[in-house]
Every structure is written in C-alpha cells, then in structure tokens.
Structure 1
Amino acid sequence: MPGVGMFSFGANKQTARVAGEFYINAINVMRGAESLSTYTPISDAEKFRIEYWALEEARLQRLPQPKSHATRVAFVTGAASGIGKAIATRLAAEGACVVIADLDLAKAQEAAAELGSTDVAVGVQIDVSRADAVAAAIDEAVLAFGGVDLVVNNAGLSLSKPLLETTERDWDLQHDVMAKGSFLVSQAGARVMIDQDMGGDVLYIASKNSVFAGPNNIAYSATKADQAHQVRLLAVELGQFGIKVNGINPDGVVRGSGIFAGGWGANRAKTYGIDEENLGEFYAQRTILKREVLPEHVANAAAVLTGPDMTHTTGLHVPVDAGVAAAFLR
C-alpha cells in the first residue's frame, strides 16, 4: 500500500509471515537488479509452468484437511494455569493462534512458549478488573495475530467464607475480577469482532455454583451467577453480529487449578470435614458418574462449543460436572 507499507495474510500467522518474507525477498531482488540495470520478470508461460508443476499439484492434493480452529485467534484470560491453560492448549492443538492473557506476565509467556513459537501463541499481561489494561491486552492480541475471533472469560479467584465472615473487600474483589472483568473483556473483544464483521465466539467459564446453593461461598457463587446471566444477555445482543455466546459450568476442578492451590481447596476441605488431598475424590463421589473433573474435560467442551459442529448454538450453559443433580438447569 503506497505511503503505508506492506501487509500479508494467510491461514495462520506462520503462512502470513512466510508470504511476507517471500515478497520482501522479491522486492530486494528487484532493487538489486535495478541498481545495476533493469529488472525483468520471467515470462507468463514460465510462471504458469512453475505454478502448475505436476509434482506440486500432487502434493497439494495430499495436504491434510484444515483443523477445526484454523485461521482463528483465541484470547483466553487466566490462561497461565489450570482450566485456562488447558483450553489454550486444546485450541492451539486445533489450529488456533492463542493469546495467553494472565495477571502474571512471566507465567503467561512461559505457558505460551510451551505451545510453540510466537506464530502459535503469545503471552500478555492483563488485569481484567481495569478497562485500560483489558483494552491494552486486546490491542496486543490484534497486533500479534491480526484480530480476535474467540474470547474465553476464565480469569478468576475464589474466597470460601460464610456470609458473616465475608467482608466488603472480599465481595468487591470477587465481583471486580469475575463479574466486572468478564464484562470488560467481552466488551473489548466484541468491539474487535464487530469491526471485523466475521462473527465470533465469547465463552464464559462459569460454574455449577451459578445454579447450585452450597455453603460458605456467598461472594463466589453470586459472581458466578452474574457471569451466567451475562451469557444469556450477550447472546441476545451480539447474535445480530454473528457472535455466539455460551458458557461452561464445571464442578470443582482440583488438579492443576490455581484457585484451589491458592487456598480455596483448603477452605472447601475444611467446610466438608475432609483432608485437602482427598478433595478431588470427594467431589467425584458426590456426582452421578463418580468421576473427577479435570481441566482437560472443560477444554474439550470449550473446543466443541466454539468449533464447526456448534454453529447454531448460543445462550447455552454446558455442565462439565460428572452429573450434579442439584445443579441441573431448570
């Protein structure tokens, strides 16, 4: 683009980058030739012979089918550990370019490096409770991969306290990170998707606690209910732009969870009168299927809800809890 510069695009960042590198090299060849004499391209007949070389045509016919999330850019909050990391890993495996957004920049960058080069994933810092920080992180995602197609609201924390011990600060912290934070991330992501005019997905990692009344977690469960209703409200509002909004309601995911490792696990174990190391098994035994829920199980649901087989589903909450009858949607 004269006066602006050159840009290239492709099925993913790697192919776009390689295309750009080819053209930069071609431009340098032309400049080198013109510094000595003139540049003359090969004939159209020769170009055709190269472009439609029989062996190349045969190779193209053997190329694998695109993965389910190829060409898509996913922005996942709280993705340096636990459920968020599992979702980011699954989406990258399905061909997406992934932005690992986390409060801890070093851990976000470390998690991104585990997924591959910066053609596949980048780590950015985000404080979801601050609109300026959210906008800056979304801008970084757009600069890294050219846009945003899929937002996952996963960032969170949990304070396990009964009503009379829950302080105003506890309440505000829970709601700032999860209720307000999800709102800000969804808003910033939706702005980009609407401008792109290609549809998209917003996914909320809510909880069975959004519909289930358990003891000693008033602030956490209330903010999860807020997130759950945001799913319905945004599904109605963003559908006109082709943007689907869905949610996932996991049961307690103990293994690999940053929330449980940060003290929530010890508090919940105390509430139920068991040892903390037995908490995962305790949760499993109270379910219908008697199975422990792992981060990878939530990631499976995230991949399906945002994949090509669920193009006509919005406003849905999918339970990933091995069957908790008290949390059945009514």
Structure 2
Amino acid sequence: MEEAELRRMPRAKALATRVAFVTGAGSGIGKAIAHRLVAEGACAVVADRNGESATAVAEELGGPDQAVAVTVDVTDEEQIAEAFRAAVLAFGGVDLVVNNAGISLSKPLLETSVRDWDLQHDIMARGSFLVSREAARVVTAQGLGGDVVYIASKNAVFAGPDNIAYSAAKADQAHQVLLLAAELGAHGIRVNGVDPDGVVRGSGIFAGGWGARRAAVYGVPEEELGAFYAQRTILKREVLPEHVAAAVFALTGGDLTHTTGLHIPVDAGVAAAFLR
C-alpha cells in the first residue's frame, strides 16, 4: 500500500528549488524562457532594461513568491551586481542564468558605424561576459554548482549578408560558451548555448525594426518574413520563442547532467549552419 500511495503522490517539478536569472526577460524569447522555467518549478528573476516590462512579466509569473523583477542594463557592471544582490535577497541564491539580452541592427559593412558595432558588442558580447562573471561569483560561493545558458544564434556559425556587427557579436557569445565551460566545470557549473534562427513572431528584436530590415534584404514583405525563414529550412517549420525556451529547459531540466560546452541549434534545420 505504501508503494501505491507513493505512486499516487505528485512528482516534484524538474526545476523545483532552482532560481533562474534571465536577462532580456521583459519580452520575446526571454519572456518565453522565464515562463517555461517557472512552469517547471523554478523561481525567476526577470531582468530587463525596461523595468515596467520586467514587472509585468514577474506579475504574470505569480508575483514575489515565484518571480521578481530587476531593472538592469547588462552593459553596466554595478547594475548587474545589484541585480544579483536583489536576486539573492529575494530567493536566497541563484543557480541558473540565461544570457538572453540582445539587440540587432542589420546593415552591410559600409553602412555599419562604429556606434552600431559597439552597441551590439556592448550588449551581447560584453554584457554576457559581465553577467556570466557575476553569476560565477555567486554560484561558486554557494558551492552547489549550476547552469549558465547563452542564447546565441545560428549567425554565430553562418555567413549571411548585411549583418556584420550582429553576427560577430553572436560568434563572440558562442565562443564564451566553450571558454567558460572549460573554466567553470571545476565548480560544477555547466555552460551551454542555444542557437536560434528566424524567431519573428513574439521577438523583441524583430519588433524593434530588425524584421523590416531583414525583409528588405531578402525582398519579402515583413509580414511574410517568418514564413520565408521557415521555407528555407529543412523542416519547413517556423521557430517561435517557445521552441527556444524548450531547448533551455532541455539543457537545465536534469536529463543532461553530464553535458557542457554544447550548442543546440533551434533553427528548423539550416544546413549551411551545420557544425563542420
């Protein structure tokens, strides 16, 4: 009877007791990631430069017992440190960090200004470095191990037109995954990446004007850009924020405990981006 009773008891969710810090979580892919991680039992720190958006997402996720919002610019060291202090104060620690904050300005080389280059590298390459460094300080002090996940891009390994600054910044992020996996493994910290492509619907980057510019590059109406991306893939399927969130959970949910330094493509199959 005791065994039967145990079988009837609900199982603990995969991410129960875990605290996730997600950057760029006020919209788009980051918001979907925060929702998925909380649905799987985690508490979430919704980090975003837009404090109102972060607060709205935290409220959606269940309020202060389940999620808190922090306003943070990932290019600012002190703001990042304060955000982690707030996370530790709210939930007692952090052990799952997702570097998702990003921006893109789609321009060819001769139209890319130094400001365009610096802005994208400051947010994605430098910002991910700063967040990961602060995360490593917190997680190593806890002594319990943890996860760092980078939302990089198919563009990290794919040479496409008119996108020099964004693609170079994403390549920087992708290599940080490998470097930090090698360095932080001794502390039980696994570092992995997710490489999406063509996330149009629900994407904060595309809504910010990048979609219109990419549509112009490919000669298609902006409203058809998602379908265009889907048709150039092997599976002919459109990639949504929820698919990226599912990959983050796959990496952190407990089934891949012996995996670090991995990049998971979430692009419906882009043969030109296959690793060689």
1:76 partner amino acid = V
What is the rounded CA distance, in whole Å, between the counterparts of 2:99 and 2:90 in structure 1?
A: 20
What is the rounded CA distance, in whole Å, between the counterparts of 2:7 and 2:260 in structure 1?
A: 36
1:120 partner amino acid = Q
- Which of 155, 174, 189 in structure 1 is aligned with 2:135? 189
- Which of 292, 302, 327 in structure 1 is aligned with 2:248? 302
1:87 partner amino acid = I
| Residues 5-42 of structure 1: per-residue CA shift (max 9 Å, x gap) | xxxxxxxxxxxxxxxxxxxxxxxxxxxxxxxxxxxxxx
Match of 2:183 in 1: 237
Structural mapping, 1:1-330, within 5 Å: 62-330=8-276
1:179 alignment partner, SS class = helix
Q: TM-score, normalised by structure 1?
A: 0.81
Residues 61, 274 of structure 1: alpha-carbon distance in 2 compared, 3 angstrom cutoff? closer
2:21 partner amino acid = F
User: CA offset at residue 117 of structure 1?
Assistant: 2.2
Gaps of 5+ in 2: none
| Residues 259-299 of structure 1: per-residue CA shift (max 9 Å, x gap) | 00001000000000110000000000000000000000000
Q: TM-score, normalised by structure 2?
A: 0.97
Gaps of 5+ in 1: 1-57
1:123 alignment partner, SS class = strand
User: CA offset at residue 59 of structure 1?
Assistant: 8.4
User: CA offset at residue 252 of structure 1?
Assistant: 1.4
**Larger RCO of the pair (alpha carbons < 8 Å, separation 6+):** 2
2:155 alignment partner, SS class = helix
User: CA offset at residue 63 of structure 1?
Assistant: 3.4
What is the rounded CA distance, in whole Å, between the counterparts of 2:213 and 2:71 in structure 1?
A: 28
1:310 alignment partner, SS class = coil
What is the rounded CA distance, in whole Å, between the counterparts of 1:326 and 1:126 in structure 2?
A: 36
Q: Which stretches of structure 1, 4 residues or more, deviate above 3 A after TM superposition?
A: 58-63
Match of 1:17 in 2: none
2:140 partner amino acid = I
1:64 alignment partner, SS class = coil
1:203 alignment partner, SS class = strand
Number of equivalences: 273
2:255 alignment partner, SS class = helix
2:22 alignment partner, SS class = strand
Match of 1:40 in 2: none
Aligned alpha-carbon RMSD (Å): 1.2
What is the rounded CA distance, in whole Å, between the counterparts of 1:164 and 1:88 in structure 2?
A: 38
Residues 61, 316 of structure 1: alpha-carbon distance in 2 compared, 3 angstrom cutoff? closer
| Residues 187-242 of structure 1: per-residue CA shift (max 9 Å, x gap) | 00111100000000000000000000000010000000000000000000000000
What is the rounded CA distance, in whole Å, between the counterparts of 1:213 and 1:234 in structure 2?
A: 24
1:257 partner amino acid = S
User: CA offset at residue 60 of structure 1?
Assistant: 8.1
2:149 partner amino acid = L
1:178 partner amino acid = M
